[in-house]
A = this chain, B = another copy of it.
Amino acid sequence: MSTASRALNNRGDVSESTRRRVLQAARELDYVPNSLARGLLSGRTRTVGVIVTTILNPFYAAVVAGIQDVLGAKGYNVVLYNSDEDQRKELAAVEALIAQRVDGIILAPVQKTPETVELLVNRNVPFVLVGRTILGLDTDYVVCDDIAAGQIATEHLIRKGHRQIMLINSSRNSSSELRYQGYAAALRANGIEVDSRLVRSVVLHTDAERAVLQALDEGIRPTAIFCFCDAMALGVMRALRARGLRVPDDVALVACDNLDFTEFLEPALTTIDVPKHEMGVKAAEVLLSKLHKHKKRTTQVVLRPSLVARAST
Contacts and interface: CB of A to CB of B under 8 A. Distances in A.
A65 B82 contact: yes
A36 B30 contact: no
A156 to B, nearest CB: 22
Contact of A36 (B33, B40, B237): B40
B61 A56 contact: yes
Interface of A: 30, 32-37, 39-40, 45, 47, 54-56, 58, 61-62, 64-65, 68, 72, 77-82, 95-96, 98-101, 122-123, 231, 234-235, 237-238, 241, 260-261, 263-266
A47 B39 CA distance: 15
Given A35-B101, A58-B61, A234-B261, 14 more contacts: A30-B122, A34-B99, A36-B37, A36-B39, A36-B40, A36-B45, A55-B68, A58-B58, A77-B100, A234-B263, A234-B264, A237-B264, A261-B261, A265-B265
Contacts of A101: 34-36
Q: Which of A37, A61, A65 has the most CB of B within 10 A?
A: A61
Contacts of A39: 36
